[in-house]
Amino acid sequence: MKYKILDRIKSPESLKKMSHEKISLLADEIRDFMVKSVSKTGGHLASSLGAVETTLALYRVFDPPVDKIIWDVGHQAYAHKIITGRKKRFHSLRKKGGISGFTKISESPYDAFGAGHTSTSISAALGFAKARDISGGKNEVVAVIGDASLANGMSLEAINHMGHDKTNMLIVVIDNEMSISPTVGALSKHLNNIMTGGIYNKFRQTARDMLLKIPAIGQPTAAIIKQAEESIKGVLSPGIIFEELGLRYFGPIDGHNIKNLTETLQRIKALEGPKLLHVYTKKGKGYAPAEKNPTMFHGIGKFNVETGEPEKSCGRPSYSSVFSDSLVKLAGKNNKIAAIVAAMIEGTNLSEFKRRYPGRFFDVGIAEEHAVTFAAGLAAAGMRPVVAVYSTFLQRGVDQIIHDAGLQKLPVVFAMDRAGIVGEDGPTHHGIFDIAFMKMIPNMIVMAPSDAFELERLMKTALRYTAGPSSIRFPRGESVAAIKQENMAAVIPGKARIVKKGSAVTIACLGTPLGEVINAAGALGKKYAKKIEIIDARFAKPLDENAIARSVAKTGRLITVEEGVIEGGFGQSVAAMLKRKGLRNFKVSILGIPDLFPGQGTMEELRDESGISQRAIEKAILRMLEQPAGR
């Protein structure tokens, strides 16, 4: 489809010459283009739809890439990508070799800082502003952040630093919760026009300077005037907390009124010091299905543009569903079980737990560090807390896991969703480090179920384990049943199982790659059928040392498979354990994620690239069998 205005945009400079009316039409075209593109690629649509006018206004007032606009997370940055030279490549969004779903320094000079995890923008922007001041630069620095991310501890730490140092930069808060009443918004808009006006601010500063020069009464009087101004603003706007932290607060204003946005930003730009502009927007704006269900369209796969319906899957339950169903059942039998999420109720599939056990369900917001220590407090008081979190986001809570759960031997269960390769979201979201960082913590047991049945069994194991914290990881996507089983009892910690016996090579597998291992062994045919022994390790810590050592002593060859980083991972632990037990000359091949950040693409593409797909495992088996066995 051709667009009258959008197709003519070669760079953001074009926006500065457009009328407000033309910019509004451009916003409509961008939304139409965005919806049609994302329907084919999937992506974070609702937030980006809500941020279109704010993006255009920023580019009308500021001059990137000289001025720095730092986007938080990147969920709202699609319009930014489209107008900065990436429209023609937008069809490759989140695909292998295509443009990232988030901001990425190597992708464009307009992407001043990479994003993917929340609440980094203010800290990064403050770094840019301080570097500018040190070098004597004059460029502007802007951090764009969502209202939910603003409550994260990292954001508040950065605001505290920014306000204390009186650093000249701007924070733009995009508030899409629609919690601000029209009356308050209108009053604040009127006050805002006054507060950002040149005459007012010149008079304000001149009067303050004059008062401070008057002996005895100058300082107290200036303080009284400041208090009076803050009292008025406190009644009329919700920004007094930011004023107390040292920022000038403006807003809230309508984030879809391009004329008012542009004029307000121009006025704020002329002011020195730390500033915050609060804009309210509608998540999913301009596309009815996304407006109606912004949660579903926050991060969505391919969908039908006309109906908004996502493409149907094959119908198997997701691992998230298996986890949540298991937790709900276990909580029905034990009223000490509590669930904790960090602003990811739907993402972790715990809506049903919340409905059934509201008193034992806690959404702590985007605050993973707090979630971990809060859970440790619950555990110390006798509860059995389960922290349900994406693997990549739990990285933020490693210190708390070590200090508050591990050191104190508190029985907190960490249920890590999206473990391993996650696909199109790319390097910021792959959950590939948790085996390594959980395994290093004393008193922690580290579990990885191989399929849906084992996930249920290991959930029981985790909630029965009271000697310390435990972690259990499972991948994104539809579950499989690699091995059908009748026994659904809890597993003894550290107990592996022999899935298939063989004589010439041991394959020790951790987690869901087991299905690929079984398929690879089967694909090699009868010639190799009796040569391949397969062990489902279940635990990265403690290891079933005896079972693995007996097998390798027999075969003289070992292949380990895991969907996590090789460095510090399961395979290296197995190899080190065998050396400790006196096995010296066995041949070993460790399959896992190499020492790099995997890119974006389908999960199948990335697993193959990392050497843990069925095809890669088949090749590894054949290479190993070509080598003489060691003992």
Would you list the domain boundaries of the chain? 16-178+254-292, 181-237, 319-473, 497-626
Res 182: pLDDT: 44
Domain made up of 497-626: CATH architecture: 3-Layer(aba) Sandwich (3.40)
> In 10 A of CB 422, how many CB atoms?
25
Q: Exactly one of 140, 368, 533, 563 is catalytic; name it.
A: 368
What tokens appear for 575 in the block? 């190899």
Q: How far is CA 357 from the centre of its chain?
A: 26
Cα separation of 624 and 618, whole Å?
10
Strands 384-390 and 361-363, how do they pair? unpaired
Domain made up of 319-473: CATH architecture: 3-Layer(aba) Sandwich (3.40)
Q: How far is CA 360 from the centre of its chain?
A: 25
Cα separation of 489 and 595, whole Å?
37
What tokens appear for 181 in the block? 């009443």
Domain made up of 16-178+254-292: CATH architecture: 3-Layer(aba) Sandwich (3.40)
Predicted confidence (pLDDT) per residue in 429-442, tens digit: 999 999 999 999 99
Res 239: pLDDT: 77
The answer to whether residue 396 is catalytic is: yes
Predicted confidence (pLDDT) per residue in 482-517, tens digit: 777 778 899 999 999 999 999 999 999 999 999 999
- What value does the mean pLDDT take over residues 166-193? 66
Nearest Cα neighbor of 400 from 375, 428, 422 is 375
Determine the 3-state secondary structure of 470 from DSSP: strand
Q: Do domains 319-473 and 497-626 have the same CATH topology?
A: yes
Who contacts 209 (Cβ-Cβ below 8 Å, separation ≥6)? Answer: none
What tokens appear for 215 in the block? 């002996």
Q: Are 274 and 248 in contact (CB under 8 A)?
A: yes
The answer to whether residue 177 is catalytic is: no
Q: Exactly one of 60, 86, 87, 283 is catalytic; name it.
A: 283
**pLDDT exceeding 70 applies to what percent of the chain?**
90
Res 272: pLDDT: 96
Determine the 3-state secondary structure of 169 from DSSP: strand
Res 204: pLDDT: 57
- Peptide bond preceding 252 in cis form (omega within 30 of 0): yes
Nearest Cα neighbor of 574 from 507, 504, 497 is 507
- What value does the mean pLDDT take over residues 344-357? 95
Predicted confidence (pLDDT) per residue in 314-330, tens digit: 678 999 999 999 999 99
Nearest Cα neighbor of 626 from 559, 548, 574, 571 is 559
Q: Is the dihedral of CA 567, 573, 579, 583 positive or negative?
A: negative
- Of 68 and 185, the structure prediction assigns the larger pLDDT to 68
What tokens appear for 469 in the block? 């914290």
Q: How far is CA 168 from the centre of its chain?
A: 29
Res 233: pLDDT: 52
Q: Are 382 and 356 in contact (CB under 8 A)?
A: no
Q: Exactly one of 31, 396, 457, 557 is catalytic; name it.
A: 396
Whether 191 shows a pLDDT value over 50: the answer reads: no
Res 315: pLDDT: 73
Cα separation of 276 and 249, whole Å?
5
User: Strands (DSSP E) along 229-300, which ranges?
Assistant: 248-254, 274-280
Mean residue pLDDT of the chain comes to 90
Predicted confidence (pLDDT) per residue in 106-135, tens digit: 999 999 999 999 899 999 999 999 999 999
Predicted confidence (pLDDT) per residue in 250-259, tens digit: 988 999 999 9
Res 148: pLDDT: 86
Nearest Cα neighbor of 124 from 151, 103, 94 is 103
Res 629: pLDDT: 79
Res 10: pLDDT: 85
Q: Are 129 and 159 in contact (CB under 8 A)?
A: no
- Of 200 and 309, the structure prediction assigns the larger pLDDT to 309
Cα separation of 451 and 483, whole Å?
8
Cα separation of 346 and 295, whole Å?
8
Q: Residue 183: pLDDT band by 50, 70, 90 thresholds?
A: very low
Determine the 3-state secondary structure of 523 from DSSP: helix
Res 224: pLDDT: 58
- In the chain, the amino acid numbered 259 is K
Cα separation of 265 and 20, whole Å?
14
The answer to whether residue 233 is catalytic is: no
What tokens appear for 491 in the block? 């597993």
Predicted confidence (pLDDT) per residue in 399-416, tens digit: 999 999 999 999 999 999
Whether 55 shows a pLDDT value over 60: the answer reads: yes
User: Strands (DSSP E) along 219-328, which ranges?
Assistant: 248-254, 274-280
Who contacts 317 (Cβ-Cβ below 8 Å, separation ≥6)? Answer: 325, 452, 478, 479
What tokens appear for 474 in the block? 């499972």
